[in-house]
Chains A and B, each alone.
Chain A
Amino acid sequence: MAKLYIICIDDQREVLNTVVKDLESFENFFVIEACESAIEAWELIEEIDDEGDQLALVVSDHVMPDKSGVQFLTELYEDGRFALTRKILLTGLATHKDTITAINKAKIDTYIEKPWKKEQLIGDVKKMLTFFVLEAGLNYEKYIDALDQQTLLGELRKKV
């Protein structure tokens, strides 16, 4: 069975580890991977794609050396293979211009400001995963503990 991945990207290890730690409750349903750069993330994404697995969610920092988060998320959006992948930008510093690009070009789904609150991060991740699971046509009952119940109910009602 195809595995579902969540990838977290941040160039600062302490921050990256904290994000991963905050998301550990999702590990029962998803594989959580940590990457220190966008380039590393791309390598991993290619591997995931080769294995026939799916990328459910990316949580990315913006300000990173070599390639910025917005740049990376734009590439991901333009790639086409990951149309269903949900994208969260988690950043302490993005200029007005960066933010506009993030929305218009990278089509990010959620923007979270650093320092973040664990509950908020988990809540947003749950919502994003709910959209992903439904849009990917997966059996949501299997993932129910990792999903946002209200969003799920709302979306299901729309379908009826």
Chain B
Amino acid sequence: MELVKQQWLRHQFFSDPDKVIKLKKGDVLLEENAFNRRLYHINYGVIKGLLCDSNEPEEEVFQSSQNTFVGVLSFFSDSNLSYAKLVAMEESEVSYVESKEEVIEKGGYQVFFEYFVPIIVNELLIRQMYAHNMANEKKMALQKLMETSNLATLGQLAAGLAHELNNAIGVIQRKTEWFAENISKYLQEQNHDGMYSFYLKGVERGHTISTSEIRGLRKNLEKTFHIDSSVSQKFARAGLGIDELIPFKKNLSAMADRISYFYDMGAALHDMTISSRHVESVVKSVKQLGTSNYSMEQEVNLNNTLNESISILKRILTNIELELDLQYFPNIQASHSGLVQVWVNIIKNAAESMLSQPQITARLMISSKLVRNKIKVEICDNGPGISPEILPEIFRPNFTTKVGGLSFGLGLGLSIVQKIIHSHNGEIEVASKPGCTTFRITLPFKPYPISDDK
């Protein structure tokens, strides 16, 4: 019915071949506030209406396409002033009637009105919907902006906090070093009949053996030296093996307290160093959320950053089968520490998810290659996968599946990863199903510039 009316209108009023205007993209049909008595019918193409405020960028208020009308308000109103600027968005053609008088002449205003009103009402509805959608979009954009600014505030807060903590932990680190050095010097001078070596073992080794290994060692020592379990416990905790204790075997029981005393002294310093380093790395990861202070100018061997990350995570990767396929390509310009952080985060997540199902042999595959000027890195694990419900969330800050605060668990890991990859103009994708989760990182191949004098 609408179509019939439309066709009739068009035939009756808009079929004069002399009253046709062809527009190229960007052509202005009518300026804002211009005098207009014409009514335009769009034969084809799209025309948008713009409001121009000298202080603001032009604002789009409607878009009209084929078989709709523009110039409606100025045609019908008494002022005959156009409220918006009309611009063709693509190649378009319009036909027009010159004025109300022409309409009367051609078939009567009454008839015209009867047919035109439903169309114009429909047109108004479309424009209102358009305005509504625009307002909605703006609302969403504003919301997003608010979130970002929350994040920015969080980032500033984090940076401030990080600075304070860094100062404190810096002092603790330096003083620990100072203590270690001076105690070491002092003990070396005094010598304490060979006890210095146990102190050194403590410093070097700390507590590298597991508690179940300690229990095994203790039983072993008990059997070998026929000593009391409380004595062997002291040696076992210090990780001292049979070979190391043989020189003292005549009076082990008498020596136990002294030996473990010196060992513990060293081990305490070792623990202090490890723990303050731990704080340092936590602080660093919080700080990196707030800022993007990576030097992107470094010459980086990408495969080295992968290998370095694997060695950082050695402890967690012990029971995981590792398959590496790292192909050679020239060094690139990137941030070394940034990339290491990316790999460490992804590999650590993969390892933790795989270790959550001990009945399956954990397998991690890491590959890197250069394909058509893009570096592609894939990290693939056979863990339980990421469920589809949470997959879209994983790059969001504050998102974590880790209960409580195990190994940081700040939920910042992947948001930092994404930030670093984006700062390299790269992309990160993830595909996941049970038994196969793949993180695909694509970086533009940006070779490190070789200086001319070489």
A17 touches B405 (CB 8 A): no
* Residues 389-423 of B at the A interface (beta carbon under 8 Å): 403-406, 409
Chain B nearest CB from A30 CB (Å) reads 11
A40 touches B212 (CB 8 A): yes
Bound together, the chains give a CA A155 to CA B210 distance in angstroms of 39
A63 touches B405 (CB 8 A): yes
Bound together, the chains give a CA A18 to CA B267 distance in angstroms of 10
Q: Chain B at the A interface: mostly helix, strand, loop or mixed? A: helix
* Residues 75-100 of A at the B interface (beta carbon under 8 Å): 92-95, 98
Q: How many residue pairs bridge A and B at CB < 8 Å?
A: 53
B212 touches A98 (CB 8 A): no
Bound together, the chains give a CA A93 to CA B402 distance in angstroms of 12
Chain A nearest CB from B32 CB (Å) reads 59
A63 touches B211 (CB 8 A): no
Interface size class of B (residues with CB under 8 A): 20 to 34
B264 touches A14 (CB 8 A): no
0 or 1 for each of B269-280: is its CB under 8 Å from A? (1 = yes): 001001100000
B211 touches A14 (CB 8 A): no
Which residues of chain A come closer than 8 Å to B403, judged between CB atoms? 63, 68
With known contacts A68-B404, A93-B405, A14–B212 Cβ distance under 8 A: no
Which residues of chain A come closer than 8 Å to B275, judged between CB atoms? 14
B404 touches A63 (CB 8 A): yes
B274 touches A14 (CB 8 A): yes
Which residues of chain B come closer than 8 Å to A21, judged between CB atoms? 264, 268
0 or 1 for each of B249-274: is its CB under 8 Å from A? (1 = yes): 00000000000000010011001001
Chain A nearest CB from B75 CB (Å) reads 67
A65 touches B352 (CB 8 A): yes
B352 touches A18 (CB 8 A): no
Confirm or deny: A118 has a beta carbon within 8 angstroms of a beta carbon on chain B: no
B273's nearest neighbour on chain A, judged by CB, is A14
Chain A nearest CB from B264 CB (Å) reads 7
With known contacts A13-B207, A27-B230, A34-B214, A64–B406 Cβ distance under 8 A: yes
Which residues of chain B come closer than 8 Å to A11, judged between CB atoms? 406
0 or 1 for each of A17-30: is its CB under 8 Å from B? (1 = yes): 11011000001000
B404 touches A40 (CB 8 A): no
0 or 1 for each of B211-227: is its CB under 8 Å from A? (1 = yes): 11011000000000000
Which residues of chain B come closer than 8 Å to A92, judged between CB atoms? 405
Bound together, the chains give a CA A43 to CA B352 distance in angstroms of 23
Which residues of chain A come closer than 8 Å to B356, judged between CB atoms? 66
Chain B nearest CB from A101 CB (Å) reads 12
B271 touches A95 (CB 8 A): no
* Residues 84-124 of A at the B interface (beta carbon under 8 Å): 92-95, 98
With known contacts A40-B212, A64-B406, A65-B406, A14–B230 Cβ distance under 8 A: no
Which residues of chain B come closer than 8 Å to A35, judged between CB atoms? 211-212
B355's nearest neighbour on chain A, judged by CB, is A65
Confirm or deny: A36 has a beta carbon within 8 angstroms of a beta carbon on chain B: yes
Confirm or deny: A62 has a beta carbon within 8 angstroms of a beta carbon on chain B: yes
Chain B nearest CB from A26 CB (Å) reads 12
Confirm or deny: A45 has a beta carbon within 8 angstroms of a beta carbon on chain B: no
Chain B nearest CB from A43 CB (Å) reads 8
Chain B nearest CB from A55 CB (Å) reads 16
Which residues of chain A come closer than 8 Å to B409, judged between CB atoms? 63
List the interface of chain A (C-beta within 8 A of B). Answer: 11, 13-14, 16-18, 20-21, 27, 31, 33-36, 40, 43-44, 62-66, 68, 92-95, 98
